[in-house]
Amino acid sequence: MSLLADTLSRIAPVDPSVAARTQALLDDKTKPRRSLGRLEDLACRIAAARGESVPALPRKAVVVMAADHGVAAEGVSAYPQEVTFQMVLNFARGGAAINVLARQAGARVVVVDMGVKEPVPATDGVRASRIGPGTRNLLREPAMTREQATAAVEAGIRLATELADEGIGLIGIGEMGIGNTTSASALTAVFTGADPQEVTGRGTGVDDAALAHGGGRLPRRVAPLGRARPPQGPRGHRRPAAPRSRPQAGRGHGRGARHDPRRGVAPDPA
């Protein structure tokens, strides 16, 4: 059995009764009910993921996985592809915005080279889990093979398992790669059935011409792929840390879109 298949077989739905108990505890406090809004929803989701109505404050880590996107050759970004390499070094040196936020939250930052076009030199703070020298140009050919996609997911599983073994209880997820917004738009269109032009934005702040260039070509590339099979089962149950009951947090278009390919690579069992 592959690592991916084994991991999926060990993921169970969260227990809604745990979330209900956490909400009851919040409601019992001296405050107007639901006055903390979405923070209460987040607290309940974390409690349900951990299986504890009052989970202890966790040790935290932020994982930033970096790789280049072949579609950058189409001029879809305001920045050259070399910026990916430079940003990875900046993450490792502690000089990026995520490093500042992580320090404020008391979180460890883990930087991973998943496929930067020019390999990042071995250095403290950068792990090598390279699938290749970036993806291919999705506007002209498949960006990755199924085998490469599976290998990438399994790299995440191994890292999440390692962090859990080290006592990390909450994992923040980020990614870096020039051209990532275009890739995210394509994935979002395929996995949601949305019009590619509706989910394509300015990303790094490109001008009207670049937006029209990238957004106008995506529909022709995405249309033959059709719409992926809608995901089934509990929300978030495909996350690599799920078998160890470790909640994950992420933000942004790229992070959200990259959650969906795991559903395509490993469809839900019947």
Please state the domain count of the chain. Answer: 2
What share of the chain in percent tops pLDDT 90? 57
Residue 121 is predicted with a pLDDT of 85
Based on the domain organization, do 124 and 236 belong to the same domain? yes
In a domain, 143, yes or no: yes
Indicate whether 233 belongs to any domain.
yes
Give the pLDDT confidence score for residue 184 in this predicted structure.
87
pLDDT value, residue 245? 62
Mean pLDDT of the chain: 82
Domain annotation covers residue 170? yes
Contacts (Cβ under 8 Å, ≥6 apart) of 177: 66, 67, 68, 69, 84, 116, 134, 183
> Helical H runs in the chain?
3-9, 16-27, 38-50, 82-93, 97-105, 146-165, 180-192, 208-222, 252-257, 261-265
Q: Is residue 270 part of a domain?
A: no
Q: Whole-angstrom Cα distance, residue 63 to residue 129?
A: 13
Residues 205 and 225 in one domain: yes
Q: What pLDDT is recorded for position 270? A: 39
Same domain, yes or no, for 102 and 222?
A: yes
Q: Domain end: 50, 70, 88, which one?
A: 50
Are 17 and 69 members of one domain?
no
My answer on whether 220 and 250 are in the same domain is: yes
Residue 260 belongs to domain with CATH number: 3.40.50.10210
Percent over 70 (pLDDT), the chain = 74
Residues 104 and 38 in one domain: no
Cβ distance 112 to 129 under 8 Å? Answer: yes
Average pLDDT of the segment spanning 117-134? 89
Residues 87 and 146 in one domain: yes
User: Domain residues for 45?
Assistant: 3-50
Instruction: Please check whether residue 226 lies inside any domain of the structure.
Output: yes
- Cα gap 55→185, rounded to integer Å: 36
- Cβ neighbours of residue 212 closer than 8 Å, sequence gap 6 or more: none
Residues 72 and 178 sit within 8 Å (Cβ to Cβ): yes
Higher pLDDT pick, 222 / 233: 222
Question: Per-residue b/e over 73-87, b at no fewer than 16 CB within 10 Å?
Answer: ebebbebebebbbeb
Q: Are residues 41 and 100 in the same domain?
A: no
Same domain, 109 and 180: yes
Residue 252 lies in a domain: yes
pLDDT digits (tens, 9 = 90+) for 187-198: 888 888 887 777
pLDDT digits (tens, 9 = 90+) for 128-177: 999 999 999 998 899 999 999 999 999 999 999 999 999 999 999 999 99
Residues 72 and 43 in one domain: no
> Do 190 and 135 belong to one domain?
yes
C-alpha dihedral, 204 to 208 to 209 to 210, nearest 10°: 20
The pair of structure tokens assigned to 103 is 């320090």
pLDDT bin (cut points 50, 70, 90) of residue 1 is confident
The C-alpha angle 188, 267, 244, rounded to 5 degrees, equals: 95
* Closest of 245, 246, 237, 244 to residue 266, by C-alpha: 237
- Do the bridges between strand 168-176 and strand 107-115 make them parallel or antiparallel, or are there none, so unpaired? unpaired
Which residues neighbour 230 within 8 Å (Cβ) at sequence distance 6 or greater? none
Same domain, 20 and 113: no
The better pLDDT of the pair 58, 208 is held by 58
Is residue 45 a part of any domain in this protein? Answer: yes
CA–CA gap between residue 121 and residue 137 (Å, rounded): 25
If we measure between CA atoms, which residue out of 29, 19, 26 comes closest to residue 53?
A: 19
Residue 210 in any domain: the answer is yes
